[in-house]
């Protein structure tokens, strides 16, 4: 490993992230395969719509586990906005949409990441609840079940939309971000640009982990 890289995530954070991401993707594609006739080929590739439904439902249980772990791990840092710096960051869109001479400093997660996390946490919970009702429709009033289909579709639209924005900003939209969730290590230059406040906090607390150095060195 190249010396001087900084650890942004540990193995457990990356594990939960990929559990959530991959199960979410599987749910999106199997859901599309069941919902729209033009996507029925997905079900055909999986052995039929009945098989697709089983895969979708049981993947939903896996997604529930990943969602609970994610909320438990990230809520304190990514589920709460820090004012006024987060508002200042949002007012200039973090410098992503137009040139900003100096982007307000933010901590480990910027407001955009926090909004994505909250969207997944809230609408992910909606998807789980509505999905369970839809799985066992005969156990609930028909009027309630119809609303569950509407809310399930709404949750899909929100999460699917946020997912692609997250994918863009985690790759070509913000070069250097992807390694944080693949290897866990990022460059100091990237961290100083994207999360300067967090870098300072780790340096001050002695929690900065640098490759090629002992833990806590900086």
What is the pLDDT, as a whole number, of residue 58?
Answer: 95
Domains annotated on the chain, with CATH? 8-186 (1.20.950.20)
pTM of the full structure: 0.85
pLDDT digits (tens, 9 = 90+) for 89-119: 888 877 777 777 777 788 888 888 899 999 9
What is the pLDDT, as a whole number, of residue 160?
Answer: 86
Q: Which tokens belong to 136? A: 């066992």
Average pLDDT value for the chain: 87
DSSP string, the chain: --TT-EE---HHHHHHHHHHHHHHHHHHHHHHHHH-GGGHHHHHHTT-HHHHHHHHHHHHHHHHHHHHHHHHHHHHHHSS--TTHHHHHHHTGGGSSS--SSPPP--SS-HHHHHHHHHHHHHHHHHHHHHHHHHSGGGS-HHHHHHHHHHHHHHHHHHHHHHHHHHHHTTTTSTT-THHHHTSEE-HHHHHHH-HHHHHHHHHHT---BTTS-TT--
Integer Cα distance of 193 and 178 in angstroms? 15
């Amino acid at each position: 490993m190249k010396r001087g890289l900084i650890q942004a995530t540990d193995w457990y954070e990356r594990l939960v992230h990929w559990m959530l991401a991959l199960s979410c993707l599987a749910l999106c594609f199997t859901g599309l395969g069941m919902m729209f006739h033009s996507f029925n080929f997905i079900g055909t590739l999986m052995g039929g719509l009945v098989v697709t439904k089983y895969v979708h439902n049981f993947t939903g249980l896996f997604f529930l586990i990943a969602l609970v772990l994610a909320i438990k791990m990230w809520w304190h840092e990514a589920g709460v906005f820090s004012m006024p710096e987060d508002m200042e960051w949002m007012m200039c869109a973090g410098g992503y949409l137009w040139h900003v001479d100096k982007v307000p400093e933010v901590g480990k997660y910027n407001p955009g990441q926090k909004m994505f996390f909250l969207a997944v946490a809230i609408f992910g919970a909606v998807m789980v609840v509505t999905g369970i009702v839809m799985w066992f429709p005969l156990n609930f009033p028909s009027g309630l079940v119809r609303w569950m289909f509407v809310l399930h579709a709404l949750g899909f639209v929100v999460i699917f939309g946020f997912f692609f924005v997250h994918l863009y900003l985690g790759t070509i939209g913000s070069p250097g971000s992807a390694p944080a969730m693949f290897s866990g290590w990022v460059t100091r230059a990237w961290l100083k640009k994207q999360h300067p406040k967090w870098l300072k906090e780790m340096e001050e607390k002695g929690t900065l982990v640098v490759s090629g150095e002992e833990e806590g060195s900086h």
